[in-house]
Structure 1
Amino acid sequence: MRTLPPAVATAVHVATLARKNGMPIPPKVLAVLDKAASPFPGRWLLDPLPGDPIRVIELFAGPGGWSEGLATVLGVAVDSVGIDVSKDACATARAAGHFRICADITTLDPEHYALRHVRGLIVSPPCPSFSPAGKHSGQEQANIDILCRVLAQTSEAGGFLPGNELDDWCEGCDTCDALGYHDGFAPRSGITWNELRAQLAPLTDARIGLMAELLLWAFGMQAAGAPLQFIAMEQSSRLPQQILDDIRLELRGGQEEGEWYWTTQGILEASEFGLASRRERVFFLASRRLSYLPTPGENVRPTTMAQALGWKESERINTRGVRPIDPATGRPKGGNEFSADKPSNCLTGKARTWKRVSDGLRLTPNQAGLLVGFLPSYIWEGSRTAAFQQTADVVPPLMAARVLAQFFDVDGEALAADFLCQLYRMDEMLSSAEEYDTVA
């Protein structure tokens, strides 16, 4: 485990004393902490005090889906740091009060000293390489093999080996004790995190390699001393099973006796949980205790797009402009319309062109956000194109809340029901013509 330079260690000591005495950290000391912890917050160099919220890191954090799930839906206090490369997504999250580091995750150190007290890891890698809307490069076996070879090296890079694998045949000796085998960690392989990342270079789409960051950060933070309690990941429902199996196997220590024994995965569809749009995603959980994926409650009612937006019945949505008429059906070719009397189609960045057939008025970013579970007051930063792309990529806060509630010992189903009631009673705010954009 890494140690701090003497000057930084002194600053940590002074800041800790100030906190324990209920006093503010001196500005000069805070400046030293912030510089040493960069790009992470300086406060993360300090040991948590009793009553402090747990620390959570969000990779590919986006505009705030997971963050809103914790803060707004569940109402739990966490000290969360999100990382994302999109300046617009980071600006959106910051406008809502969420901490963001705007950076390329692959340039950061998952073993940074500031991460040694993180308890939760949340990961939502980009999905176009795997999703039906993409080019399917993530489905190509050559790419899968490259990724899985890297995944298979991550635990050894971090020095992870469950102690009980050795306890079966070694009752303890000076050599094993000196190397730390019986503490649960083996000697590290010597390969660095950046060397592992470099092995992903042959991938035909670099975004496929971002899946490896889940294990790079999990084992990197564990090597830094982080007492991780849970890992949560969301990805395209078309993520190859081989990748999920290899992630699970690595976390479970190969012999399925690792510290991350409890893993679960499954596909959840957002509209089944009451949201007004369809979104099918695979969720993966790993924890040090029994964990599970939520199921829709018996009393959850489907919410139609029209109900969510305060529209009258029988409205239709045009998604692709004027299309040729199919003489066999009398309808436009290409499936360019759908009824608003059911949950909307899954939003993509192209939802910015959707318009209501009856009057040609287009969705606003706030309405798109409402369909995926954000309050109408949520501020979407960036251009119209950027805002709609954010709503397409984001994890719905309601789904984030249902998945994470178990780790905070709160009733996720009840809190989600309360949130849905609040979310879709605000149709008066969205029903006037001023809320729509006219087609240029």
Structure 2
Amino acid sequence: MFNQGLSLDQAPPISIPFRFFLSAPFFGVLISLVFLIFPFDEVSNQYIHFAVGVVHLFTLGILTMIIFGAMQQMMPVLAGAIIKKPQVFANIVHSCLVIGTLGLSFSFILELKFLLYMGVLFLSISFLTFFIVSIKLLFQVRFMTSTVKAMRLFSLAGIITFIFGFYLAVCHINLNLGEHYFAFINIHILFGFFGFAFLLIMGVSFQVIPMFYVALDFPKFIQHKFPVLIFILLFISFLFFYFDINFLILKILFVLLICFFTYFALKSLNNRKRPVFDVTLWYWKFSLISLFISMIIWLFDIFDTNYVLAIIFAFGFLYSLLQGMVYKIIPFLSWFHLNSKGYFSIPTIREFIDEKYIRIHFFLHILSIIFFVIAYFQNIFIYFASIIFLISNILFFINSMIAVKKYINISKTNPMDFSSFK
């Protein structure tokens, strides 16, 4: 079942990824409440500070939260990069990420400058701790796979994203935006979404899709060339933005590379070697379709603002895929840790969470995205979208917690007690 280079013996304590995964839905709830309470014109206007706060509730509270949690599991397992004192490391990264995200986001939403100081301080601790350790460990790995290479590029892109973000935050603190302020904003966004998020998703998918879904491997040139090409384009983009050069050529190249990846990912999932139904496949396929649609919107600037693009890319592509991954990782880790402790009577991976509830969550998630998009044309629908998104995130937390509680309850029993599986 597992590809070469995969080592499960070095996995960190199961509580580490769980705390990150279970924290993400709470930020989804906060986003829902912000959309419910504040006027749509403020939430959807990319040019005002309010929208900056909402965006970072997602990028830091959901995207980064799940990525940091998953990476602490994947680095030892997929790359053999073992974090020393994982509990201390996780405590620092997680607590500072939560405090920093709340501080930074609500400093813009509520226009309270002291929260910005707090946000910058704690986010700096979280990001620097995570990326300094990650870069050091990943560049010491000897067994190189396409996933490890992509992880390396992700770690470099992540620290660069942080540096640009730190610079922009200092600009706001000093009330001095500078001549190239918007150039730094654009490259911060580009490195964040295409470097920090997409590079990791692409690299992990090279191993996770064939492993979890018994699907076809990606072509070698996709695995070994595309992450590097994306990374090179990101650096060239900085020069284009800084010197105010027309970005269209690079935009076309980004879109072509990402659409080619999307095509081969969908092809792999649609031509599985063992086509057994798995509800998490819906998340992957919907995510990849959303990615393709968002690239078309971005390429042709279909809408006057980036609101619809942000919804489809962030909620449709990123959050859908992350939810599908969490629904796969939590049951797998629960099963693996119990199995490694000698438990015989344990649920199968698919029995840790009832698929019926995962399906309900999936349809609620899609429905919320549909209403978020419709709200662009008829603002009143933002209330329907927000309420459904709120319920969706609560259900995401409950579903994840069900699997975690099953693990906790069974782990408290005697491994030889066959009555533990109910």
TM-score w.r.t. the length of structure 2 is 0.25
Normalization by structure 1: what TM-score? 0.24
